[in-house]
Structure 1
Amino acid sequence: MSLNLPHHRPRRSATVPTALAALALLLTSCSGNADPDPAPDSAPTPAEVTLPPVGEGFDYQLGGAYTPPPGTSIVARDHTASPAPGMYNICYVNAFQAQPDAEGEWDDDLLLRDADGEVVIDRDWDEALLDIRTDAKRERVARKVDAWIDACAAKGFDAVEPDNYDTYTRAPDGLLTADDAKAFLALLADHAHSVGLAVAQKNTAELAADRAKVGLDFAVVEECGMYDECGDYTEAFGRHVVDVEYDERGMRKACAGWGDEISVVRRDRDVLPEGEPGHVRRTCP
């Protein structure tokens, strides 16, 4: 992200809608309580993993932590922050790209390079893409991300949100593929489950049908109302979807179509803390 804040990616354009053809399997969550709305096509969840409550108040606090407003039950914060007491806490990690100020923290050969040998940069956020094209490189990148995931678990977070699953769509000349992304995220999901964290799919509606194979438990999505994608996620994850909208039009669409089913919040694009100029947070009426 261009600001020196925890990275997040407000949606800039719609992804291509994908028809999800899997039949609904009525499975219950193994989180300790029966799931009132089990997600279709889902793999059994490890017993120690807890899924977020469905349809409850949500706040996206990546730009800085603050006391959650009344009515909030679910909070997402950066992995450098601490969880909010008494909430279901989601821990954000930038898993597929290097932060603008952290490119030098990665081994040089783990930065994706184009045919001219130049590091591939996501120009929207000035971030180097990570090279996850081989098993060996995926495992090396995962070791660093896994350390952040371990810190999330040690702090008491309930889940992890690995961002930029859709990085492959921004790699030139097919340098990265959807299969690369799924194989890498599966490594992260397996590790997160081993330390007791649920795993969120971040955006990338076109891969939602593969959530069970990858090992994903719920979805954190941006602007599914704006881009008419909420149904793609609920078809894959049931009601275990939390949505962030960044403008009024998207918020109205999300609330009208999905406000009674999933958690929806309106935030400013910089997800600023409460009290800072430009801070916006609203929920469905």
Structure 2
Amino acid sequence: MLRLPKSLTPLLLIVCTTSLILTGCGGGGGGSESTTVVKTWYQPSINTSWHWQLLGDINTDYSVELYDVDLFNTSSEQIAALQVAGKKVICYFSAGSHEAWREDAALFPEAAIGSALPEWDRERWLDIRSSEVHQLMLARLDLAKSKGCDGVEPDNTDAYLNDPGFPISRADQIEYHRFLAEQAHARDLAIGLKNNSENAAQLVDLFDFTVNEQCFEYNECEALSVFIAQGKPVFNAEYSAKYKQNTTERNLLCASANALQFQTLILPLELNDSYRDSCTL
């Protein structure tokens, strides 16, 4: 083992007492070394209740523990007010698509902007391998930190399953997830895995929760139970009109969600709070 000069010992002690505390940081004794990360960022429990609203004036009247809101559309004052009221705040942004209306849209290089997302106007896939894209995502994480968000929800991180206009592989996608998770945690931000049930087992260790859309409608929920097994919540939203219009369908959905210990909401696709029903017991 390489021995450190005595002059470096104080520096090592400083490194070992930062917000990410590492045990096994120093050396001697000749035994095997282990590295344990003490997580200082927010970690929701599997029973955390939530509200998800990305459009419209945020309805602050829900008696829930967590709000998931848009990073750009929500001011630091609104975030602080929610926190004063005892809520944790997760901030949504797209990490895999270029949204033409965002305030930083002009900063993305044209070479990193690919195919259009079907059914989503003025939105195109990003080349997640691009170093320029990585730097812009770091800026978004910095924005989340500066606004006081407790965590982030990066969306559209499944380009390899679509037609993004770039040869993005599953390995590229996994590496991008790792990059986002490590950088969020370096800023003391929690981070959620958005959808990506296909890779849940491989990614669960990196993420603090998952936000899923329509796993009951598409019979994809079982793969997400790896989060529950680790004490990490599954925040699920279902959009199908049958859950809103048919009491029997809604009751069946909620029975299944509660059996899996998922936090399931029935919401409008626009996520504008025009309708909300919760399966939480």
Quick check: TM above 0.5?
yes
Structure 1 residue aligned with 2:238 = 245
* Cα separation, partners in 2 of 1:185 and 1:251, compared to 1, 3 Å: farther
- Using the size of structure 1 for normalisation, the TM-score is 0.72
Matches within 5 A, 1:136-155: 137=130, 139-155=131-147
Per-residue CA deviations over 1:142-200 (Å, capped at 9, x if unaligned) read 21111111111222211111101112211268722211111112111111101101111
Asked if 1:202 corresponds to 2:194, the answer is yes
Given that residues 51 and 62 in structure 2 are in contact (C-alpha distance below 8 angstroms), is that contact kept between their aligned partners in structure 1? no
Structure 2 residue aligned with 1:98 = 98
Asked if 1:264 corresponds to 2:264, the answer is yes
Given that residues 225 and 245 in structure 1 are in contact (C-alpha distance below 8 angstroms), is that contact kept between their aligned partners in structure 2? yes
Q: Which has the higher contact order (CA 8 A, sep 6+)?
A: 1
Per-residue CA deviations over 1:244-282 (Å, capped at 9, x if unaligned) read 111344754441112251211111111114xxxxx0011
Looking at secondary structure, tell me which structure has more helix per residue. Answer: 2
* Cα separation, partners in 2 of 1:236 and 1:57, compared to 1, 3 Å: closer
Which of structures 1 and 2 has the bigger CA Rg? 2
CA distance in 1, matches of 2:57, 2:154: 18
Structure 2 residue aligned with 1:161 = 153
**Secondary structure at 2:207's aligned position in 1?**
coil
Unaligned runs of 5+ in 2: 1-18, 21-34, 244-248
Counterpart selection for 2:211 from 202, 216, 220: 220
CA distance in 1, matches of 2:252, 2:194: 20
Per-residue CA deviations over 1:95-114 (Å, capped at 9, x if unaligned) read 001003355431122123xx
Q: CA deviation at 1:65?
A: 4.3
Output the aligned Cα RMSD: 2.6
Counterpart selection for 2:275 from 268, 272, 280: 280
**Secondary structure at 2:265's aligned position in 1?**
strand
Given that residues 128 and 134 in structure 2 are in contact (C-alpha distance below 8 angstroms), is that contact kept between their aligned partners in structure 1? no
CA distance in 1, matches of 2:120, 2:37: 34
Given that residues 245 and 251 in structure 1 are in contact (C-alpha distance below 8 angstroms), is that contact kept between their aligned partners in structure 2? no
Q: CA deviation at 1:53?
A: 3.0
Matches within 5 A, 1:105-120: 105-112=107-114, 120=115
**Secondary structure at 2:69's aligned position in 1?**
strand
AA partner of residue 268 (structure 2): D
- Using the size of structure 2 for normalisation, the TM-score is 0.73
* Cα separation, partners in 2 of 1:269 and 1:54, compared to 1, 3 Å: same
**Between Structure 1 and Structure 2, how many residues are aligned?**
228
AA partner of residue 263 (structure 2): S
**Secondary structure at 1:165's aligned position in 2?**
coil
* Cα separation, partners in 2 of 1:170 and 1:283, compared to 1, 3 Å: same
Given that residues 199 and 218 in structure 1 are in contact (C-alpha distance below 8 angstroms), is that contact kept between their aligned partners in structure 2? yes
Structure 2 residue aligned with 1:15 = none
Structure 1 residue aligned with 2:120 = 125
Percentage of identical aligned residues:
26
Counterpart selection for 2:224 from 213, 228, 233: 233
**Secondary structure at 2:99's aligned position in 1?**
coil
Asked if 1:63 corresponds to 2:55, the answer is yes
AA partner of residue 266 (structure 2): R
CA distance in 2, matches of 1:222, 1:188: 20
Structure 2 residue aligned with 1:25 = none
* Cα separation, partners in 2 of 1:210 and 1:152, compared to 1, 3 Å: same
Structure 2 residue aligned with 1:87 = 87
CA distance in 2, matches of 1:48, 1:221: 25
Per-residue CA deviations over 1:207-256 (Å, capped at 9, x if unaligned) read 1111156x222101111222222221122453511111113447544411
AA partner of residue 258 (structure 1): A
